[in-house]
Structure 1
Amino acid sequence: MYAVGGFNVTDEVLATVEAFSPATNSWHTLPSKNTPAVALGGAAAPCPKDAEGLKGTCVYALGGFNFTDEVLDTVEAYSPATNTWKALPGLPTARFELAGATAPCPKETRGLKKTCIYALGGAADTAFNALTTVEAFAVENGHRP
């Protein structure tokens, strides 16, 4: 289980990452992600094949908010196998308070079996205007179907 970003008791936006190990019943500090964020989405899926330094299964951090009235479109992937974060192409729509999910890509991928990371809903701005859009990122080759 991973805890990514958030804010502390002084409202400082964090980029810190921690992982819980059931085997040792303890939390471990990991390398921080590149962009501090709160209210971000997350998902786990295969690492992008063309992303240098990433391999195996990655943890994806999507969008978020940074408390300077900036809604983020960032996408970052963490590879536990290499203990590395990498910035990926951003979301088409900046958003926070979103859900992240992993599932097969839509049929528009021409019958190829691919895994997509989905950014679902969320808010588009600090007035909390809700989004009903869903966006997908195909992790096998790093493109949007």
Structure 2
Amino acid sequence: MAQILSPVAGAAGRGGRPAVEWRAEDPLSSPRYALAAATAPDGSIFAIGGSDNSKTGVVEVYSPRTRQWKAGPSLPHWRYRHAAATGGDGRIYAIGGGSPGGEGVFLRSVLALTPGDDHWVPVAPMPTGRQLLAAAAGTDGRIYAVGGRYYDVLATLEIYDPTVDRWATGAPMPAPRYGMGVAGGPDGRIYAIGGQGARVGSILDVVEAYSPATGAWTTLAPLPRPRAGVEATTGPDGRIYVIGGCELDLEAPPGEQCVFTTRVDVYSPDTDTWETVTGTTIAHSEGAVVTSGRRIYAIGGHTAAVESMRVTARRRVPQPPVGDSSRNLQPPPDASRTGR
């Protein structure tokens, strides 16, 4: 199932915002998790790779106008637990993850697709191969690849500039982790939210933001509840939406303590505060979340479901701090892309 979150007539939510409900739409061709997704400049959504009980290089393209999926250009090889983002050049990038060779293969490779083309092309590889990373495009058009695993849990930040096809290394996150949500905020900062730490069972509520202007991370208000396997995107209202994931249930039997959730939390960068809103109807974990137009789409994650919510609230979008190189630059069509 795929679903749309749209206002409920006559109802009101917190702060006078309209209440919302989820509605099913066109599903993926099969249940998938550990996929990645990105929004093209025309608003179409690319669901890339993942696992459907066997690893896959399938790419599907969703049209918000027709509300239907179609086949897109497949990856050269299957890829999962990777990240995706749309760069300032309008191309879609599939970044890192795992591929042929099993769990021990940590990819450095990066593929780029120009929407409308029929094939992916290799670009400069990341300095660090990794799975379970996340990535987001900043307002400067660069792509920020954050965290993940290369046997150990990583705090790594690497930054790709599409204009010169080159990676640079940024300051590491204070909290090493994987399976977090990452989003590019309208203030130019890159937000890393939740995830799993190095210790077994250490599901995190940590929220940190990286400023390209200062090259430093700042610790912010924590998630209302710790979660891993989450996805994040910046909505058209300038707030960051954190969807689904896995919560720790210490009363459950060993091996069953990671419980999938329908929870949706929304972060306001201008006030450093969180709000919990209507949850998805189906629990998503290790899925993908993107923004297209005024809707936010939650795609797959141990399910074929695709759900979207319509964002109707209008809020003041904070400006980048003085001296931030991202000031006056236009964000890419979807300022945040998630991966796993």
Change (3 A) 1:140 1:104: farther
Whole-Å Cα distance in 2 between the matches of residues 144 and 15 of structure 1? 24
Task: Report the Cα distance in structure 1 between the residues aligned to 2:180 and 2:234, rounded to whole angstroms.
Answer: 15
Give the corresponding residue for 1:41.
181
Match of 1:60 among 167, 191, 195: 191
Greater fraction strand: 1
CA deviations 1:64-89 (Å, max 9, x no partner) are 00141200001100111111110101
**Deviation string, structure 1 residues 93-135 (Cα, Å, up to 9, x no partner):** 1111111011155xxxxxxxxx211110001127331010101
1:5 aligns with 2:5: no
d(CA) in 1 for partners of 2:260, 2:203: 13
Identity over aligned pairs, percent: 35
Partner of 1:31: 171
- Residue number in structure 2 paired with 1:109: none
**After TM superposition, where is structure 1 displaced by more than 6 Å over at least 4 residues in a row?**
none
Residue equivalent to 1:85:
217
- Provide the residue aligned with 1:143 in structure 2: 273
Deviation, structure 1 residue 46: 2.8
Distance, in Å, in 2 between the alignment partners of 1:46 and 1:25 is: 24
What's the TM-score, normalizing by structure 1? 0.80
SS in 2 for 1:42: strand
SS in 1 for 2:169: strand
Aligned length in residues: 125
Alpha-carbon RMSD = 1.4
AA in 1 matched with 2:217: W
Residue 71 of structure 1 aligns to a residue in which SS? coil
In 1, distance between residues paired with 2:179 and 2:235? Answer: 21
Which residue does the alignment assign to 1:15?
155
Match of residue 130 from structure 1: 260
Deviation at 1:140, TM superposition (A): 1.1
Give 3-state SS (helix, strand or coil) of 1:144's partner: strand
Q: Indicate conservation of the 8 Å contact 2:242/2:264, yes or no.
A: yes
The answer as to whether partners of 1:46 and 1:140 remain within 8 angstroms in 2 is: no
Paired residues of 2:176 and 2:198 also in contact (CA < 8 A) = no
Please list every run of 5 or more consecutive structure 1 residues that lacks an aligned counterpart in the other structure.
48-56, 106-114
Larger radius of gyration: 2
- Is the 1:30–1:83 contact (alpha carbons within 8 Å) kept by the matching residues of 2? yes
Partner of 1:110: none
